[in-house]
Amino acid sequence: MPSEPTLLSDVAGVAVMLLVLGLPGLLTGLAAGLRGWALAGLAPLLSYAIGGLAGPWTHALGLPYNPLTFALTTLVFAAVAFGLRRLTLRRWPPEPEPGLWARRGHFAVIACVVVTAVIGGYAAIYGMGHLGAIAQGGDAPYAANGVRYVASTGDGSLTGMGTLNWYGDATPPFYPNAYHLLAALQYQLSGASIPLTLDVNTMLLPGLLALSLVVLVREFRGRAVLAGAVALASAAPVMSTYESMSRGPLYPFLLGLALTPLAAVALRRYLGRAAPDTAFVLVLGAVGLLCVHSSTLFGAVLFAGPMLVQRWAEPGARLKRIGRDLLALLPIAVVSVLVAWLQLFGALGLASSTLPYLGWPIEYRATTALGALLGFQHWEPQPQLWLSVALLLGFVFFGRLGRLRWIGLSALVSGLAYMAVASSNSSLVMALSRPWWDDPYRFISMAIVPLAFIAGHGVASLQAWIAERLPARVPAAAVGTVVLLGFVVVTNGLYAQSNGGRLAAGYRAADPRTLNITPDEERAMVELGKLAKPGEWAMNDRYDGTVWTYALTGTRTVAAHDDGTAPPSDAVLLAAHFKEYPTNPAVRAAVARLNVHWVILGRPAAPPEPAYQSAGLVGLDGLPFLRQVYRNDDAVIYQLKG
């Protein structure tokens, strides 16, 4: 198929992705005084913050968003970070951070993160079939077209991507675009296809989540074996990332989910030492989460808020501690609003708009939803029982979590939120769940992250329990190695095969002609890209797969997304009456306004359904104003005559 890349393009795509996601954040983090695990974990979040702000800012200043302006923005942020760090060292010199893990502990944790990333990446690629596969879900073309749009136009605004589908007299919606902005740079620098660019980012997610959780454990002074066990456990649940890789895929949500634990890291570092350098990291971290997706910041509050509860409940001057923390957080909130006012006002405008909010149907009774959480089984045929066993051990040894006991409250809050969304469509539940579109899949993913953490704690506690009962001559590190390897083995490689199989439903099928975007439809879109001149548009149906045309070729189509909410009047007119072109002046005028020169139709629906949802595209064969220029088993391209 045209989307199948070469080994060289795969390697280039992965390398450029790591460069774009890592280098800006590393430079800025180093300048801000971050080192070690904190630097490694926070670097991607800082990179997304820089890119997520650079896009809208450059648009507001009338500048293009491209690798050059992104690099200049990185230098600006790094310079600010360096200045604030120098100020901190002069006025409020920090104490050296005490050591925690032995050298071999660091290497062991690195090994666990690498193993997790490899196994998680394998599960993703196994599900896709190959890197560069086209995601079949309805959210994918919006992201794919958006990445191509940013790369092609340099428009990094918060509504620019929407103009592909909502143009003319339609109003393009606000959409946070940090994911798309950095993916656009990867696309430009690597020369990879849009599907490959999206897929390498998706492949990274399990490893990115594992790294975030390791940094969380390290920040809260947890044992190295706990960090390694949590890393491994995070990639095992099917509901954490793999379900939503298959469904949608929900690219920005999943990215935000993987970065969410870092909110607690940045918050604790700041409250432990309120200074300009730690404030900078917290502001940029919070803004980065908001730039990835509005719901991510709310999710971070659900995840990290319980940390404040544990902090404020500790013995001592509680009221004084609470007041001091709230006072310290006030300037953070003010600066964050000023820095991210474009995103905040866009989100508020979307919430108060007339865009329909219908939510999702309920899934289960509340008790069944609870079983789905504890059994790590959503819609899958089998529960992931070894994770349930590890979770049980985590609850049995819960007191050993120490400074991380607040994770239990995170699991409780997010778990109850999922149970409510899965079992009720009451007005209160609908209102509270609006940032996540009342979507049970998103809520169960958010709940599974802290539950997987507790499961990892159960594995680590098993290692400690065994080590305490063995002779002193048996190294605890050896026990840890055996226990962690045993966990990987009993879970059949962290359930990689079954998780990948769940993901596969969103990318491939035994009969490729049953896919939403079939290989022949893809070939036709690529052929259209060769035929069409720059600026020429193609008429298409909203639901037959051809909405991917712009992402694959750069040729605009009348419909660029399967979301038909409040479409442009020209799109409505042409969908209903396009075949009346010879006799309908309004149709001819719309065709002229949009510069439509082509028609591309994908695989028609089977009877008794109409061949296409757009009545104006049914029965085009043989019409005198069209010339057929390409056809295969699933698609056809016509050129308008004259």
Q: What is the DSSP letter of 599?
A: E
Q: What is the DSSP letter of 130?
A: S
Edge-first strand listing for the sheet containing 636-640: 537-539, 596-601, 636-640, 626-631
Percent of the chain with pLDDT over 90: 90
Q: Residue 320 and residue 327: Cα distance in Å, rounded?
A: 10
More confident residue, 387 or 565: 387
For 219-239, what is the mean pLDDT?
97
Q: Residue 240 and residue 245: Cα distance in Å, rounded?
A: 10
Q: Please tell me the pTM assigned to this model.
A: 0.96
**How confident is the model over 462-483, as pLDDT tens digits?**
999 999 999 989 999 999 999 9
Q: Residue 34 and residue 535: Cα distance in Å, rounded?
A: 47
Other beta carbons within 10 angstroms of residue 604's beta carbon come to 17
Q: Residue 553 and residue 549: Cα distance in Å, rounded?
A: 6
Query: Over 90: is that where the pLDDT of 277 sits?
Result: yes
Pick from 251, 106, 208, 218: nearest CA to 551: 251
For 483-509, what is the mean pLDDT?
97
**Contacts for 358-364 with beta carbons within 8 Å, 24 or more apart?**
359/425, 359/430, 359/433, 359/437, 359/438, 360/421, 360/437, 360/438, 360/439, 360/440, 361/425, 362/422, 362/423, 362/424, 362/425, 362/440, 363/422, 363/423, 363/440, 364/422, 364/423
DSSP alpha helices (H): ranges in 424-568?
Answer: 427-432, 440-469, 476-490, 496-504, 519-531, 549-553
For 52-67, what is the mean pLDDT?
97
What are the residues whose beta carbons fall under 8 Å from the beta carbon of 404, sequence distance 6 or more?
216, 217, 220, 222, 457
Residue 158, helix vs strand vs coil: coil
Q: Residue 522 and residue 513: Cα distance in Å, rounded?
A: 11
pLDDT band at residue 511, thresholds of 50, 70 and 90?
very high
Task: Kindly report the three-state secondary structure assignment for every residue of 539-590.
Answer: ECCCCCCHHHHHHHHCCCECCCCCCCCCCCHHHHHHHHHHHHCCCCHHHHHH
Query: Over 70: is that where the pLDDT of 1 sits?
Result: no
Query: Over 70: is that where the pLDDT of 253 sits?
Result: yes
In this structure, is the dihedral angle defined by the CA atoms of residues 461, 119, 486 and 469, taken in order, positive or negative? negative
Query: Over 90: is that where the pLDDT of 316 sits?
Result: no
In this structure, is the dihedral angle defined by the CA atoms of residues 417, 421, 422 and 423, taken in order, positive or negative? positive
* Averaged pLDDT of the chain: 95
* pLDDT of res. 347: 81
pLDDT band at residue 3, thresholds of 50, 70 and 90?
low
Query: Over 60: is that where the pLDDT of 2 sits?
Result: no
- Token duo for residue 43: 């670097």
Least confident of 90-104, 327-341, 397-411, 536-550: 90-104
Least confident of 104-108, 428-432, 635-639: 428-432
Q: Residue 459 and residue 116: Cα distance in Å, rounded?
A: 15
* pLDDT of res. 352: 67
**How confident is the model over 388-413, as pLDDT tens digits?**
999 999 999 999 999 999 999 999 99
* pLDDT of res. 350: 73
Query: Over 90: is that where the pLDDT of 169 sits?
Result: yes
Q: What is the DSSP letter of 626?
A: E
Q: Are 244 and 254 in contact, with CB atoms under 8 Å apart?
A: yes
Element (DSSP H or E) covering residue 178: helix 178-190
Instruction: Name the region of 581 (left: φ>0; alpha: ψ -120 to 50; beta: rest).
Output: alpha
Which residue type does 288 have?
G
**How confident is the model over 604-628, as pLDDT tens digits?**
988 888 889 999 999 999 999 999 9
* pLDDT of res. 411: 98
DSSP alpha helices (H): ranges in 314-439?
Answer: 318-339, 341-351, 366-374, 385-396, 406-423, 427-432
Q: Residue 284 and residue 73: Cα distance in Å, rounded?
A: 13
Q: Residue 470 and residue 482: Cα distance in Å, rounded?
A: 14
Residue 472, helix vs strand vs coil: coil
Q: Residue 120 and residue 205: Cα distance in Å, rounded?
A: 8
Other beta carbons within 10 angstroms of residue 451's beta carbon come to 29
Bridge-based pairing state of the strands 626-631 and 636-640: antiparallel
Percent of the chain with pLDDT over 70: 99
Query: Over 90: is that where the pLDDT of 26 sits?
Result: yes
Pick from 296, 241, 227: nearest CA to 124: 241
